[in-house]
């Protein structure tokens, strides 16, 4: 159940940033996976531009209990109202939490890397 959530979050990140997040633990393909060995498919190991103009992402899940699932996600290309900026000049307070100071700094850096976007701030309010 958790893996499906992670894969869906990766898909949302790809839609929002235009970049496919890398697989950080991949080293080399197994010999029995011909599609990877023959380079007909690739495993993304670096941030890679998401170029699919249709906005389609397939997410697979193979559960321990034998439940297999495939979901096809499509991007929601909506125009942001006021380019995502709030309608006022009131400063926004964002509550964050982390297990370590490094975790907090990582979250702060991620927040600072985005331009001010009212929807993004609302999402952060819902998370924390």
Tens of pLDDT along 70-79? Answer: 888 887 777 7
Q: What is the pTM of this model?
A: 0.50
22 burial class (0-12, 13-18, 19+ CB within 10 angstroms)?
middle
Give residue-wise pLDDT tens across range 33-53.
Answer: 999 889 898 888 998 888 877
Say if residue 5's pLDDT is above 70: no
Sorting pLDDT into bands at 50, 70 and 90, what band is 3? Answer: low
Cα–Cα nearest to 98, from 113, 116, 80, 110: 110
Q: CA-based angle 116:59:112, to the nearest 5? A: 15
Measured between alpha carbons, how far is residue 91 from residues 71, 113, 116, 118 in Å?
A: 39, 17, 10, 11
Say if residue 1's pLDDT is above 60: no
Give residue-wise pLDDT tens across range 95-121.
Answer: 888 899 999 999 889 888 877 777 777
Determine the Cα–Cα distance for residues 48 and 57; give it in Å rounded to an integer: 14
For residue 13, the number of C-alpha atoms closer than 13 Å in the C-beta half-sphere is 13
């Amino acid at each position: 159940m958790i893996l499906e959530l992670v894969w869906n979050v990766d898909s949302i990140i790809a839609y929002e940033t235009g970049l496919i997040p890398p697989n950080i633990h991949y080293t080399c393909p197994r010999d029995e996976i011909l599609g990877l060995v023959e380079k007909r498919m690739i495993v993304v190991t670096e941030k890679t531009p998401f170029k699919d103009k249709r906005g389609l992402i397939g997410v697979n899940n193979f559960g321990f209990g034998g439940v297999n699932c495939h979901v096809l996600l499509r991007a929601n290309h909506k125009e942001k109202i006021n380019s995502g900026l709030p309608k006022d000049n009131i400063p926004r307070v964002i509550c964050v939490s982390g297990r370590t100071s490094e975790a907090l700094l990582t979250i702060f850096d991620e927040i600072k890397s985005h331009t001010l976007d009212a929807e993004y701030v609302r999402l952060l309010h819902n998370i924390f």
